[in-house]
Amino acid sequence: MELLILTPAKTLIEENVDEVTLPGKLGEMGILPGHTHLISELDIGVVVYKEANYDKLRAAFISGGIVEIKDDVVKILTPYGEKGEEIDIEQAERELKKAEEEIEKGSLDQKKLLEIEVALKRALAKLQASKYR
């Protein structure tokens, strides 16, 4: 299969892969060759993939988006993404700490709470993706 992860700025990933796991809005989706045609919304999270003919798993962080799977091509359109090996771990840890501190302050309105939830989710996903180096 071919995996394409596209952002407005660049093609993040263009690889031949044996399998892909995606962060769907309703949970993880596993994709293998021959998967039926599908268009779905993606959540903030980690795309884990196994390069064709290699046993090593790789990963990328995505900030949501959509996926189209058709004819053994998995095409992800995301507003932002980073390859796992390119993630600045210290920056992601700072983002996580900042979100946790905001939660500890308490008395947050609904809008601020949603913003913090997204920041927390992004930081945790970046840290998870960074483990696939």
**Lowest-pLDDT range of 5-9, 10-14, 54-58, 76-80:** 54-58
What global pTM score does this model have?
0.92
* CB contact at 8 A, 18 and 2: no
- Asked if 16 contacts 73 with a C-beta cutoff of 8 angstroms, the reply is no
**pLDDT (tens digit, 9 = 90+) per residue, 50-108?**
988 888 899 999 999 999 999 999 999 999 999 999 999 999 999 999 999 988 887 77
Strands (E), the chain: 2-6, 11-24, 27-31, 38-51, 57-70, 73-77, 81-83
Tokens of 18: 């044996």
pLDDT for residue 102: 87
